[in-house]
């Protein structure tokens, strides 16, 4: 298992994959800690998560540097990611007890209520693009609910995975409440099916979700899946153009374009398409690319060379099918897996830029002339993660909020995750929810109690 710096292609470190004996020992140790941790109580768990938030904030530069080195995240964004991890720790430390308080229900017995008990050990299979945040948005609610956790992280961010495990130890958590497994995707199916794993959560691609879900189904285990997205951003003729352009440019370039909820397909009304295109092209042109550790560089390299090449292939095929290349679209003469801000227009169904997820700094402009056409094209996707609309028309807002097929609709700003709001998708973007009170209820036994 190799960690390679995407900025220069240099090997950072090789990690030895855990043997079957090491996997067995880890699962056994975490499983044996379930009862101890579940009896810790909300007050004890909350104190530990408050300390964890403190450690994260204190060491944020160190962890940002680690992400920049392993997957190319610009330092400014890395620092923000760690601060967000601290926020989600504080959020569940403050609110988990209320979210999981027993709920009394009136029935024809003396006492009936619902309680929420931990399930056991939860396996998290996580990707490389937000190496800390995607782990903590799972870990904070899951552990505050009294479960233990095992992490299988993407192999190219093994350093981040081990750093997260060490973070829990540094914050004072009992041994084996949270552990990392350094294993390949080939082995994880058997871990999913292990009887000591109570449930599974996965963030990643649709094929990865299908594989994990299939393994879990063999053992009738619950799975929460957050998969890919091809988020439609719809800009109507009455939109505040500056606001729309700023939101779309910002969203598309976050994490060097490598975000499931980034703006990806830009549906623009024909009346404003020309002005929108000029303004967005200017923003893309002024997006600086380079070494993620250098202040001022807004996007770094793509996390892996094969992913960069796949992105370029999607751009080329879209152009071959009739899309117009306005900017970028050429692999730069640089070491590392860099890809420039790229803008396509005249994009239509049947092109990769319309049909597929473009996981990098590539924007696709799609023209529409009516509300019905915009809605039909926006929903014409296998994905349904996030969406955004830009308009001042309240009746239109009500309609599109109701009819857009997505896990979220943001009005006049870009899609982002927030510990206070449920997060997840529909269709091939997955099922289940993370964050807020919905997220903490995913991995508990919702137990009915009825007393006569």
Is there a contact between 15 and 158 (Cβ–Cβ < 8 Å)?
yes
Distance CA 298, CA 416 (A): 18
Beta-strand pair 231-235/111-118: unpaired
Task: Choose the catalytic residue: 69, 81, 260, 442.
Answer: 260
What 3-state DSSP class applies to 189?
A: helix
Q: Looking only at Cα atoms, what is the longest distance across the chain? A: 76
Question: Which residues, including other chains, have CB under 8 Å from residue 80's CB and lie 6 or more apart?
Answer: none
Is there a contact between 406 and 430 (Cβ–Cβ < 8 Å)?
no
Only one residue has tokens 């640089």, namely 334
How far CA 81 is from CA of 156, 213, 298, 340, in Å, comes to 18, 28, 15, 23
Q: What is 50-102 written as a DSSP string?
A: HHHHHHHHHTHHHHHHHHHHHH---HHHHHHHHHHHHHHHHHHHHHHHHHTS-
203: DSSP letter = E
How far CA 285 is from CA of 282, 289, 326, in Å, comes to 5, 10, 10
Distance CA 33, CA 20 (A): 20
HSE of 141, CA atoms in CB hemisphere, 13 A: 26
Chain centroid offset of residue 451 CA: 42
Mark whether 89 is an active-site residue: no
Mark whether 403 is an active-site residue: no
Only one residue has tokens 């768990």, namely 45
Q: Which candidate, 371, 351, 373, places its Cα nearest to that of 362? A: 351
Give the tokens for residue 429: 């973007």
Measured N-to-C along each axis, helices 371-379 and 394-403 cross at an angle, to the nearest 10 degrees, of 20
Q: Beta partners for 201? A: 124, 224
Distance CA 5, CA 303 (A): 8
Backbone angles phi, psi at 265, to 5 degrees: -115, 120
Task: Choose the catalytic residue: 226, 356, 434, 442.
Answer: 226
Buried residues in 366-403 as b, exposed as e (16+ CB within 10 A): bbbeebeebbebbeebebbbbbbbbbeeeebbeebeee
Only one residue has tokens 């300390």, namely 51
What 3-state DSSP class applies to 82?
A: helix
Beta-strand pair 388-390/231-235: parallel
Q: Looking at the annotation, which residues are catalytic?
A: 226, 260
């Amino acid at each position: 298992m190799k960690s390679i710096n995407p900025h220069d292609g240099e090997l950072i470190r090789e990690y030895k994959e855990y043997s079957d004996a090491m996997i067995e020992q880890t699962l056994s140790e975490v499983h044996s800690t379930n009862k101890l941790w579940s009896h810790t109580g909300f007050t004890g768990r909350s104190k530990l998560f408050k300390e964890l938030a403190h450690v994260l904030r204190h060491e944020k530069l160190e962890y940002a540097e680690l992400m920049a080195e392993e997957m190319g995240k610009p330092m400014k964004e890395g620092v923000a990611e760690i601060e967000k991890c601290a926020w989600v720790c504080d959020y569940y430390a403050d609110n988990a007890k209320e979210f999981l308080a027993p709920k009394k229900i009136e029935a024809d017995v003396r006492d009936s209520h619902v309680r929420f008990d931990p399930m056991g050990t939860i396996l998290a299979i996580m990707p490389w693009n937000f190496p800390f945040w995607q782990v903590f948005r799972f870990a904070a609610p899951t552990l505050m609910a009294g479960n233990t956790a095992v992490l299988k992280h993407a192999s190219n961010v093994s350093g981040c995975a081990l750093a997260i495990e060490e973070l829990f130890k540094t914050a004072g958590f009992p041994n084996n409440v949270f552990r990392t497994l350094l294993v390949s995707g080939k082995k994880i199916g058997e871990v999913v099916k292990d009887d000591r794993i109570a449930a599974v959560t996965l963030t990643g691609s649709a094929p990865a979700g299908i594989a994990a879900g299939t393994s879990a189904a063999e053992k009738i285990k619950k799975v929460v899946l957050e998969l890919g997205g091809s988020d439609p951003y719809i800009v109507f003729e009455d939109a505040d153009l500056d606001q729309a352009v700023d939101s779309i440019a910002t969203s598309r370039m976050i994490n060097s374009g490598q975000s499931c909820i980034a703006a990806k397909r830009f549906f623009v009304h024909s009346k404003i398409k020309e002005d929108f295109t000029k303004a967005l092209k200017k923003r893309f042109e002024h997006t600086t690319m380079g070494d993620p550790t250098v202040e001022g560089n807004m996007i770094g390299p793509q996390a892996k060379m094969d992913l960069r090449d796949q992105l370029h292939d999607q751009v080329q095929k879209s152009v071959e099918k009739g899309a117009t290349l306005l900017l970028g679209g050429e692999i730069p003469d640089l070491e590392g897996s860099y890809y420039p801000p790229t803008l396509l227009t005249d994009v239509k169904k049947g092109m990769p830029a319309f049909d597929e997820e473009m996981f990098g700094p590539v924007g696709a402009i799609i023209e529409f002339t009516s509300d019905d056409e915009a809605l039909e094209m926006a929903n014409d996707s296998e994905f349904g993660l996030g969406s955004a609309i830009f308009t001042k028309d309240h009746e239109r807002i009500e309609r599109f909020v109701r009819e857009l097929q997505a896990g979220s609709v943001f009005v006049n700003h870009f899609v982002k995750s927030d510990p206070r709001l449920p997060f997840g998708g529909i269709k091939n973007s997955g099922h289940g929810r993370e964050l807020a009170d919905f997220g903490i209820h995913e991995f508990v036994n919702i137990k009915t109690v009825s007393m006569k």
